[in-house]
Amino acid sequence: MQEGWKIYKLGELMTLITDYHANGAYKKLKANVTLKDTKDYAAMIRSTNFEKNDFNDLKYIDEHAFHFLAKSKVNTGDVLMNKIANPGTVYFMPEMGIPISLGMNLFLLRFEETRVKPYYLYKYLKANQSYVKSFSGGSVTRTITKDAVKNLEIKLPSLKEQNAIASILSALDHKIELNKQMNKTLEEMALALYKHWFVDFGPFKSSLEGGTGDDDCELVDSVWGQLPKGWEVKTLDNWIDLNPRLSLPKGSLSTFVEMKALPVQAMSVSAIAKKEFKGGTKFQNGDTLFARITPCLENGKTAFVDFLEEKEIAFGSTEYLVMRAKKNVSKYWTYCIARDHNFRKFSRSTMVGTSGRQRVQKDPLLSYELAQPNATIFKDFTEKVEPWFHQIRMNTIETQTLTKLGDTLLPQLISGTISVKEALKQVHQV
């Protein structure tokens, strides 16, 4: 152990708060409310909010319930720990802007900041999951006890060194989060432009009709409703191929993407592997991967393929469909279609199968009707959004590099096997 490092039991450094009060209040609430304006309300935080990185889906509670829950109030910078589902998993509480109470099946670990840096302890606990062996309970429901948490022995450097280590790790995490937020914004821009052009027809109707086009733009009546002049309604099979034919030799070592690697709220795949090809859905760069099975479709699993070498063929699960743009059709438009609310709703209507294992059917899916623009409009759309898609890929590559570096440095820093100075050298090389 490094000089100046000491061994403590976690209980010596913190106050542990249980979800007892949250349990009681949760049962007493007749219903939760979803609010646009939450300034007069509070909410319960749950492990699913962290796992999905979605803090909009909160369980809102009223003022009376929050007073009941006051003993389990969560502050920014607190460390939370799962008791039952994935017991021992830890989360770091972000700034929420409204009062937050501890949800069910969570411990709150509030550290004494004069002795320990909470973010350092959060990273320490995240990297050292050996205390899982202290869990009790059966194989179906595993539970971590308060005593197991309090008796966990940890090695701590001085507070000054904790701050230095936490600064390195939090800087990496901050940059990764910035990249994710930038990617989210860029994708939202692309989807907004798609909707403006191909759903609302904004550039193709005159300003007198509420559009952004000139007075020469015109909407005309059709059996499908009003469409830009020159556009016609056609089925999806005129624009895309589903699961196009590609060839991979049996037994070849190829890039593999499993279903769980498909993102829910973003387009980039980051978890890829090499695997011997024995069968599966095949794809190339520019394709869109669209989950066809419940609940993956409902959860939003969709991806744009931009991570392969030129002409490389990869493969993956047969439970997602490959959507490929035909000649003169924008591949970026194809991805936006896969994210379109109306298309996803239609896709769900084509599902057949037993409860819980329903799948989208290819032929009904291809019967989806859309208004077809000319090839020039697809070209213009590609020119607009391609730089955004490219930047998303660059951000994803950087995030992968930073994540790998953080995963390498974390155990070395918290064990004292690498100095802060040595770690900073590696960070500056990225």
Show me where the domains of the chain are located: 6-156, 159-204+375-430, 232-372
Q: For the CA atoms of 134, 139, 141, 142, what is the dihedral angle to 10 degrees?
A: 10
Question: How does residue 12 score in pLDDT terms, banded at 50, 70 and 90?
Answer: very high
Q: What is the mean pLDDT of the chain?
A: 85
Helix (H) and strand (E) counts for the chain?
12, 24
Higher confidence at residue 207 or residue 255? 255
pTM assigned to the model: 0.83
Q: What is the 3-state secondary structure (H, E, C) of 119-145?
A: HHHHHHHHHCCHHHHHCEECCCCEECC
> What is the rounded distance in angstroms from the CA atom of residue 221 to the CA atom of residue 187?
32
pLDDT of residue 35: 41
pLDDT of residue 304: 97
Q: What is the CATH T-level fold of the domain 6-156, as seen in this structure?
A: Adenine-n6-DNA-methyltransferase TaqI; Chain A, domain 2 (3.90.220)
Level-2 CATH architecture, domain 159-204+375-430: Orthogonal Bundle (1.10)
Q: What is the CATH T-level fold of the domain 232-372, as seen in this structure?
A: Adenine-n6-DNA-methyltransferase TaqI; Chain A, domain 2 (3.90.220)
pLDDT of residue 17: 82
Q: What is the pLDDT of residues 289-314, one digit of tens each?
A: 999 999 889 888 999 999 999 999 99
Task: Name the percent of the chain lying above pLDDT 90.
Answer: 51
Mean pLDDT of 59-77: 73
Question: How does residue 32 score in pLDDT terms, banded at 50, 70 and 90?
Answer: very low
Q: What is the pLDDT of residues 219-274, one digit of tens each?
A: 788 777 788 888 888 999 999 999 999 999 999 999 999 998 898 888 989 788 99
pLDDT of residue 84: 79
Q: Is the pLDDT of residue 283 over 60?
A: yes
- Structure tokens that stand for 201 in this block: 């027809």
Range in 62-71, 251-260, 380-389, 393-402 with the lowest mean pLDDT: 62-71
Q: What is the pLDDT of residues 136-169, one digit of tens each?
A: 555 555 778 888 888 888 889 999 999 999 999 9
Mean pLDDT of 65-79: 77
Higher confidence at residue 180 or residue 221? 180
- 3-class state of residue 90 by DSSP: strand
- Structure tokens that stand for 308 in this block: 């392969």
Q: What is the 3-state secondary structure (H, E, C) of 145-164?
A: CHHHHHCCEEEECCHHHHHH
pLDDT of residue 64: 64
pLDDT of residue 378: 92
Task: Name the percent of the chain lying above pLDDT 70.
Answer: 86
Q: Is the pLDDT of residue 26 over 80?
A: no
Q: What is the DSSP string of 211-271?
A: SSB-TT--EE--TTS-EETT-EEEEGGGTEEES------TT-EEEEE-GGGS-SS-S----
Q: What is the pLDDT of residues 343-374, one digit of tens each?
A: 999 999 999 988 778 999 999 999 999 988 88
| Identical fold, 6-156 and 232-372 | yes
Mean pLDDT of 378-407: 95
Range in 91-105, 139-153, 324-338, 393-407 with the lowest mean pLDDT: 139-153
> What is the rounded distance in angstroms from the CA atom of residue 11 to the CA atom of residue 411?
22
